[in-house]
Structure 1
Amino acid sequence: MLNILSTFEDSKNAMLKNQIEEILRKHGIKAQKAHIERLIKNIKPISEALTPVLLESIVLENLTIGESYFFRDIQTFEKLRKILKERPSWNILSIGCSRGEEVYSTAIVCNEAGVECSIKGIDVNFHRISQAKLGCYNFWSVRFLSKEQIEKYFNIVDGKYCVKEQYKTNIEFFQGNILDAGLSFFGKREKFDIIFIRRVLLYIDRIDIVIQKISTLLKDNGFLILGAGEYFPEVLEHFSPAFNDVGTFYRKISKKTEHPEIKTTKSKFFGKHRKLTEIERTKSEKTQEIEFAKLLKKTFEGMELEERIKLVEEYLSKKAYQKAYDIVKESCKKYQTNYLLWKYKTLIELELNDIENAKQSLQRALFLNSTDDEIWQLKHALDFRAKLKK
């Protein structure tokens, strides 16, 4: 009897896993195995009552990024103020806009800069889009704003912080996937001056396709804005850093106007691999990305940190924890104030069952960035592992 029940449970888990993975493929989203397994465990008791539509909603709610807050990565909005001086009106798109904090932050900056902005936000999650349209938030979303800023930008209604109407002009929100063929809410020829896609590409399977799509949606010399600390070699196929620090702002380029140093770097990289067969290209895809990053490091200052993080993430995806640890341990000595490195160091030490060192790394990560939800999740996991070890 126990064997029969066990087989039934395994079959049920497998069916749910297949359904979830199909939904993720449909939206071009990738998710960690541990997150999928946790979701299956949570929804299995109600799986019989789940319709396909409800299951899809649950998957998108739990396996896509949703955490945000007003003026996240404040330096990004400081740079935005600079480029807004270039012209009097802007058409802006926010991809993966979540509950709308990024869209309204941008609207506030446009308002204060005295320029006209039309802003669209798109997200695959219906519930987040509904919240974005409402424009009312808990304190968590405004936690980094001063009292004066809160009073200036929000009306407090029933304990919620509701964006004032003057900052909601010319804003639209849409539920959908940027890769959908029939994006009916965009005009056939609509082009954008600025596209935000911050902390979204980390969850996308085919980054190259998304970047190509963004390039077609941007006007010539339009701006692409990534999240702080994000680096993807695919971006440099269509964009060039807009500021000397590389950072988060990229400007769309044509082959004629491409930065000469980037052009030389690409020429070296692609020339080296031109003679590879299709099979060899497929097998060496990740190696090529790493080589590309190394070449770019020689072109721009400050690229070394991003290259290390990219390599650590690559090893983590392959569960090559010791290789990842060798890199992150040395990197933490060189970049002692980078919270992301300390977060990864904690994760790897946890995977290697090095509890004591993981505790020390976690303390450093929390000190450097106590607002990162993933660090607090690591703390819970570490506390649980420490109890088991006693």
Structure 2
Amino acid sequence: MLKNQIEEILKRHGIKAQKIHIERLIKNIEPISEALTPVLLESIVLENLTIGDSYFFRDIQTFEKLRKILKERPSWNILSIGCSRGEEVYSTAIVCNEAGVECSIKGIDVNFQRISQAKVGCYNFWSVRFLSKKQIEKYFDVVDGKYCVKKQYRHNIEFFHGNILDAGHSFLGKHERFDIIFIRRVLLYIERIDEAIQKISSLLKDDGFLIFGAGEYFPEVLEHFSPAFNDVGTFYKKMSKQSEHTEIKTIKSTFLGRHKNLTEIEKLESEKQQEIEIAKLLKKTFEGIELEERIKLVEEYLSKKAFQKAYDIVKESCKKYQTNYLLWKYKTLIELELNDIEDAKQSLQCALFLNSVDDEIWQIKHALDFRTKLKK
């Protein structure tokens, strides 16, 4: 009964969650299930099975690119989807203020508690941990141990509880369209990605920008959007054929030409190869990400069983952060999942050398030894 209720809530919001996370939640709340109202149960599910971690100026290179784009016009209408506790919204407001442009910003999240916190605009140190002392003093007032966003960065900001995929949006104007939409670390948890992208495209102005989290890549996006910068990156622009990224356009046209005389099976293989080529091009999106962000992104892709996407990131990350045992552990695990036994053995040696007391590494070793025996 409880499981069915939770699955219905997730289905209603179009959210994906791992079976192990659902089972853990059921175990935790089963003793009090009779006291849970439908509203309270929904709040608990969304709090525990959707991502809520964020901090100010997450993916700093994204905000550096935002500063460049803001120079194009004097005013902007901005939407933040999955805004959590508001760190992204206020970070954007700060950048707009410093750029000397007018910005109207709306944030939306399915979690009522997080939206309530966003409206207050006061945070624990965790949310400002990557800011310098000078930045903290400039952007925040410290009140009872909380870091509260200063008044000059709160103008023209609104927060709303809701799901962007719902049919009606009372918080949107009848014909309201946005210049910029943030949707970072959200599509990872959405079941109907095609539907979400079409919805977002309809909410953007013809020359509007869509902003993903660093390292995120969804092939479906390229049907409606094209990378806004020559280095690809996390910014996409609502696409016309004229604005499509040159290299991506070349890849598409090359594979389209091949499709004419192919069988259905050959077409599927060709489409898969096209996606691989575009993924290589988009690999630059995570080159500027710091270690903590890389690890979180890998973990998010692992939770989705998107092993190839996780591997693209962890492989590059191991080159940059050669002494981080967690990266080598994940690399071993992914190579094992991809049945790349020889590379997995080498990665495991690095992980064990860097941290021989991690039980999970030894569990992976046992699994790798077993897989090696089977292969023989």
TM-score, length basis structure 1: 0.76
Distance of aligned partners of 1:191 and 1:146 in 2 relative to their CA distance in 1, 3 Å threshold? same
Aligned match of 1:35: 21
In the alignment of these two chains, the number of paired residues is: 347
Aligned match of 1:88: 74
- Asked if 1 retains the 8 angstrom alpha-carbon contact of 2:106 and 2:160, the reply is yes
Aligned match of 2:315: 331
SS in 2 for 1:189: coil
Amino acid at match of 2:315: S
Distance of aligned partners of 1:298 and 1:137 in 2 relative to their CA distance in 1, 3 Å threshold? closer
Distance of aligned partners of 1:364 and 1:289 in 2 relative to their CA distance in 1, 3 Å threshold? farther
Aligned match of 1:122: 108
Q: Percent identity among equivalent residues?
A: 71
C-alpha displacement at 1:314, in angstroms?
A: 8.1
Give runs of aligned pairs for residues 165-184 of structure 1, distance below 5 A.
165-184=151-170
1:181-216 superposed Cα distances (whole Å, 9 cap, x missing partner): 110110111110110000111111111111111111
1:79-127 superposed Cα distances (whole Å, 9 cap, x missing partner): 1111100010000000000000000000000000000000000000000
Q: Which moved more, 1:137-146 or 1:338-347?
A: 338-347
Q: Which segments of 5 or more consecutive residues in structure 2 lack a partner in the other structure?
A: 288-294, 365-376
C-alpha displacement at 1:147, in angstroms?
A: 1.1
Q: Which moved more, 1:35-44 or 1:341-350?
A: 341-350
1:241-282 superposed Cα distances (whole Å, 9 cap, x missing partner): 11122111111112354345433433455676689999x89x
CA distance in 2, matches of 1:330, 1:63: 25
Give runs of aligned pairs for residues 261-276 of structure 1, distance below 5 A.
261-269=247-255
- Asked if 1 retains the 8 angstrom alpha-carbon contact of 2:216 and 2:285, the reply is no
Distance of aligned partners of 1:58 and 1:361 in 2 relative to their CA distance in 1, 3 Å threshold? farther
Distance of aligned partners of 1:315 and 1:202 in 2 relative to their CA distance in 1, 3 Å threshold? closer
SS in 2 for 1:247: strand
Distance of aligned partners of 1:127 and 1:273 in 2 relative to their CA distance in 1, 3 Å threshold? farther
**Bigger RCO of structures 1 and 2 (CA < 8 A, at least 6 apart):** 2
Q: Which segments of 5 or more consecutive residues in structure 1 lack a partner in the other structure?
A: 1-14, 366-378
Give runs of aligned pairs for residues 38-187 of structure 1, distance below 5 A.
38-187=24-173
Aligned match of 1:370: none
TM-score, length basis structure 2: 0.78
Amino acid at match of 2:220: E
- Asked if 1 retains the 8 angstrom alpha-carbon contact of 2:215 and 2:285, the reply is no
Amino acid at match of 1:331: K
- Asked if 2 retains the 8 angstrom alpha-carbon contact of 1:124 and 1:177, the reply is yes
Paired residue for 2:228, among 217, 222, 242? Answer: 242
CA distance in 2, matches of 1:154, 1:92: 22
CA distance in 1, matches of 2:120, 2:362: 38
Paired residue for 2:276, among 294, 304, 312? Answer: 294
C-alpha displacement at 1:20, in angstroms?
A: 1.2
Distance of aligned partners of 1:358 and 1:78 in 2 relative to their CA distance in 1, 3 Å threshold? same
The answer to whether the aligner puts 1:195 opposite 2:195 as a matched pair is no
